[in-house]
Amino acid sequence: MAGRASAQAALETRRSVVKAAADLASVEGLDSVTIGRLAEIVQMSKSGVIGQFRTKETLQLETVGLVFSDFRTRVWETVKRFPRGLPRLLAACDAWTEYAADPGYPGGCLMTQVTYDYDGRDGAVHERLLEGRNQWRETLRADLTAAVETGDLPEDTDIESVVFGLESLASFISPARLLHGDTRAADHAYRGMRRIIGVPEEVR
Amino acid sequence: MAGRASAQAALETRRSVVKAAADLASVEGLDSVTIGRLAEIVQMSKSGVIGQFRTKETLQLETVGLVFSDFRTRVWETVKRFPRGLPRLLAACDAWTEYAADPGYPGGCLMTQVTYDYDGRDGAVHERLLEGRNQWRETLRADLTAAVETGDLPEDTDIESVVFGLESLASFISPARLLHGDTRAADHAYRGMRRIIGVPEEVR
DNA sequence: AGATTAAGCGCACGATCGTACGTTATGCAA
DNA sequence: TTGCATAACGTACGATCGTGCGCTTAATCT
């Protein structure tokens, strides 16, 4: 069918392309996502695909955007009603590790994938990535400082160090599963997070 | 100069190509390493470059090989004389974090880069990567079990969980530096490692 | 000295990359 | 009903991808 001017249908097309891009990127990396292969997957012409985004970079940016919005929904939204401070932090860690273990992409967690892919490059994707990660870091910091204020965590807690630790552990879940077949990866990460934060271990 | 049949000179050429490949890969990813760009860097013709390796995959494998041999030299070799168990483990963590913070590649730690790039793909590079990582994991496990046997670590230490934590923390040093400009990344990682292992913190 | 080996070059190939153009077909507003 | 905006198409472009082939040239061996 050539040319349906329904804006709604177009939006659906757009979404399906971005979803396909995310799926493909999770397996082979964002760079390997090509207009041609994408067109093949969604059964469209190359020009039909690129036409939705004008340029490939726009598509990449929207792909990264999808990843962060997914993350926000699956992790942040589920814990935002918890009381600030340590309870919410631990709930976040729980949801976070669970997300990383099953992010809904065929090739593992795309967020960490993109992180390691574009950490050392310049450009809009790098910027978008940085923005998304900083948002999450900020919420972690907020709960950490709150936990210190309430006395749940010691006064001399090095917040930046803890944030680093949490991000590390979450980021290694996906490669541990994919590379070493470590099915306990999420548990390892969660237990590590409790150690990093400094709360006693606990069977969940 | 066209055609010098000195095997020694050829080996040097080969090395320079692999080194250039590693440098480039650390910035833009192993996939972005292209015969053409490589040829430009080392001032050779495309056919001269590919001729050294017959196929691009061979070049990729040798690049990964270089990374692991570098790692082995910079980390493993410097700690192998330490007494087995906890002392060597902590020394390894020290050398490891230091390596990750300054791996000698312009775009950060190539080992973690490749890890996240090829964890979910099939093929020879994946296999080579897995082999290299497993070697290192094995030495970590050895020192951990030794530390348990000597009583330096508690009997119920979950070794796999600790190994996971150490790898996580080391792997996040490079992105933390590149993405967030975190110059304290190596310190964060080292402190985290001590927490994961379960030994008291200590200023180094 | 002559023969052999191999490093590196130049060139060409088929494929695929991202993008631009003009065309066709459709839905919506006037 | 007519006209306009636009989704999607087909086609084509210049670049670049990895690789193969034949040649030149220099080092090594007999």
Q: What is the pLDDT of residues A155-169, one digit of tens each?
A: 999 999 999 999 999
Q: Which of the pair, A9 or A19, is modelled with greater confidence? A: A19
Distance from CA of A5 to the nearest CA of B (A): 38
By Cβ distance, the residue of B119, B158, B192 closest to A178 is B119
* Alpha-carbon gap, residue A87 to B135, rounded angstroms: 39
B165:A26 CB<8 A: no
Are B116 and A116 within 8 A, CB to CB?
yes
Q: Is B97 near strand C, with its CB below 7 A from some atom of it?
A: no
State the distance between the two ends of chain A, measured CA to CA, in whole angstroms.
53
Contact B161 A113 (CB under 8 A): no
Query: What's the Cα-to-Cα distance from A198 to each of A80, A162, B164, B191, B201, rounded to whole Å?
Result: 22, 9, 18, 12, 12
**Is B197:B146 a contact under the CB 8 Å cutoff?**
no
Is any atom of strand C within 7 angstroms of residue B46's beta carbon? Answer: yes
pTM confidence score: 0.94
Give the per-residue pLDDT at A11: 83
What was the pLDDT predicted at B200?
78
Residue-level pLDDT, tens digit, chain B, 204 residues: 444 556 666 788 999 999 999 999 999 999 999 999 999 999 999 999 999 999 999 999 999 999 999 999 999 999 999 999 999 999 999 999 999 999 999 999 999 999 999 999 999 999 999 999 999 999 999 999 999 999 999 999 999 999 999 999 999 999 999 999 999 999 999 999 999 999 976 644
pLDDT at A1 over 50: no
Residues with CB under 7 A from strand D: A 1-7, 9-10, 13-14, 39, 43-49, 51-52; B 1-8, 33-37, 46-47, 50-51, 54-57
Residue A5 has pLDDT above 60, yes or no: no
Q: For tokens 């570098």, what's the residue?
A: B70
CA A102 to chain centre: 11
The pLDDT, as a whole number, for residue A7 is: 66
pLDDT at A203: 44
**Residue B186, by phi and psi: left (phi above 0), alpha (psi -120 to 50) or beta?**
alpha
Taking an 8 Å cut-off on Cβ atoms, the answer to whether B182 and A164 are in contact is yes
* Average pLDDT of chain A, as a whole number: 94
CA B75 – C1' D1 distance (Å)? 80
A68 to A64, A133, B28, B85: CA distances (angstroms): 6, 8, 22, 42
Query: Helix axis angle, B185-197 relative to B173-180, nearest 10°?
Result: 150
What would the pLDDT profile of A15-28 be if each residue is shown by its tens digit?
999 999 999 999 99
Q: Measured in angstroms, what separates residue B41's CA from nucleotide C6's C1'?
A: 23
Residue B29 CB neighbours (<10 A):
24
pLDDT score recorded for residue B10: 74
The angle at the Cα of B188, spanning B80 to A181, to the nearest 5 degrees, equals 65
- pLDDT on residue A6: 66
> Which of the residues A30, A117, A168, A169 would you substitute to probe the B interface, choosing the one with the greatest number of B C-beta atoms within 10 Å?
A168
Cβ-Cβ contacts under 8 Å for B63 (sequence gap 6 or more)? B18, B21, B22, B25, B30, B33
pLDDT of residue B1: 43
- pLDDT recorded at residue B3: 45
CA of A2 to C1' of D6 (A): 11
Residue A181 token pair: 């077949």
CB–CB of A148/A142 below 8 Å?
no
Strand C contact at CB of residue A4, distance < 7 A: yes
The pLDDT of residue A201 is 66
pLDDT tens, A72-103?
A: 999 999 999 999 999 999 999 999 999 999 99
